[in-house]
Structure 1
């Protein structure tokens, strides 16, 4: 009997084609058939670039930090294209990319790749607003997934710490009804706890949930994760016997206590994870005790 041939998918097979058909309904009727003057691409000396304060943002402290980071970590693959418009005197006004240009100049780079558009001052300002105002905000979950794919050490360390507890960080926001067991959206809390407590401690805290609430959904939330990490830091002896810790945590009603802590925190103008942490500490103290 002839065996069926195995098919293997290549990376190219998994990638999506550019297909605008599914977005047609969102376009509506075009305002005009005129698409404007097509821009051109060129490398332009930084000495010929100018910043127009009429619409460009002033570089404040956060902007200065960003410029410094761009310069410090400069890599052409992360640079992109600077959008500029021709102005008098064989010069060009930067429409988008002043921080990147300043970062490149700090590294001694003399010319940057530019997309040159034809636009007077009014249209330059309009282009600036369109580029910076119509940006689709990238969720922290998507950024984390990209960092993992890029092999960023901090992201990989977090992924591995979570995997050791059988926790999966979602790649994008998921409605509660569609969440699967051991999935979480609490990327910010996980990142902070990894930095503050370390990978092994975070894994131990997460396992208090995944190993005692198998098949359940919705417990891997920010207040619960932060409360567990804090409590196990205050009394590290509770981590010495994972079996005893998990046996105790099976008796803890995560959903009920989180709901109560949320209400109490609002009344006290406190943080939910702080209130939940106090409840959790008292509970484990009664269950496991504190060594003399």
Structure 2
């Protein structure tokens, strides 16, 4: 059970502590919960989409307590959790678990700002690790595709000096690639990149700036993937660094000419694709021989 980490007791104690009133935990009727629009966010179209997503996947094990403050008339102002509460109401529940903390409106607004502005961002790696442990379909698929191609999904922020070829840290992008190109083509593309001389053993080419243009240029050319040996040979002969320099020059030229911005990654993808098309030209089908 080495993955179970205890709470550290060695953290420095703050010089002064003013925690305010201690909160209480209780189930509260949703009809008693209100939203104070003087500090709360409005429910726009994207908020409604978020509420629908929560409702469609509603699970009490993923429902954290709603933070509220008691106000006049026996009601409670929601500090944090209006999306969750709306979703619970949409599912037909009449109560939600709440953390009740006495505070005036000024302190309510400050609490809202602190909770929503000082949240530690959860990284894609942390989400992937949690999803894999929870045996979620997308995480299992990601792991299986990478493993079958001889690659490995990164699970934390690894220093550049410790990264290895074949390690994929662009988790969000790879999920989009699977959705766009399909699992089979994604696996074939990763396999070619891993097995090709030059790309398979060069750590730098597995960073997002190179991995994405290489992957997209290959995955978008299924005819090249059908000749994997020829594709690997073409990649081995390709000078990606020279193409990168060319892409940088093109970005600078477009900027000087006042042309619309196109990123270096997009241009590099196009240059890699052109190089593959030149090395592996599409053969024209010959007409069928006429009957004698």
TM-score, length basis structure 2: 0.86
Which residue of structure 2 lines up, in the alignment, with residue 115 of structure 1?
Answer: 99
Residue by residue, what CA displacement relative to the aligned partner does 1:196-218 show, whole Å, maximum 9, x if unpaired? 00112112222332212344212
- Structure 1 runs of 4+ with >6 Å offset: none
Kindly indicate whether the alpha-carbon contact (under 8 Å) linking 1:176 and 1:218 is maintained by their aligned counterparts in 2.
no
Is the contact made by 1:52 and 1:94 (CA closer than 8 Å) also made in structure 2?
Answer: yes
What's the C-alpha RMSD, in Å, of the aligned pairs? 2.1
Matches of 1:176 and 1:141, distance apart in 2:
16
Q: Which runs of 5+ in 1 are unaligned?
A: 1-10
Unaligned runs of 5+ in 2: 255-260, 285-292
Alignment of 1:1-292 (within 5 A): 11=1, 13-21=2-10, 23-24=11-12, 29-32=14-17, 34-211=18-195, 212-213=197-198, 214-265=200-251, 267-268=253-254, 269-292=261-284
My pick for the range that moved more, 87-96 or 229-238, is 229-238
Q: Distance in 1 between matches of 2:157 and 2:250?
A: 27
Number of equivalenced pairs: 276
Kept in 2: contact 1:46–1:101 (CA 8 A): yes
Cα distance in structure 1, aligned partners of 2:46 and 2:249:
36
CA distance in 2, matches of 1:176, 1:254: 20
CA contact (8 A) 1:231 1:280 kept: yes
TM-score, normalization: structure 1? Answer: 0.86
Change in Cα spacing, 1:267 to 1:174, as seen in structure 2 (3 Å) is: farther
CA deviation after TM superposition for structure 1 residue 126, in Å: 1.2
1:42 is displaced (CA, Å) by 0.5
Aligned to 1:181, the other structure's residue is in SS state coil
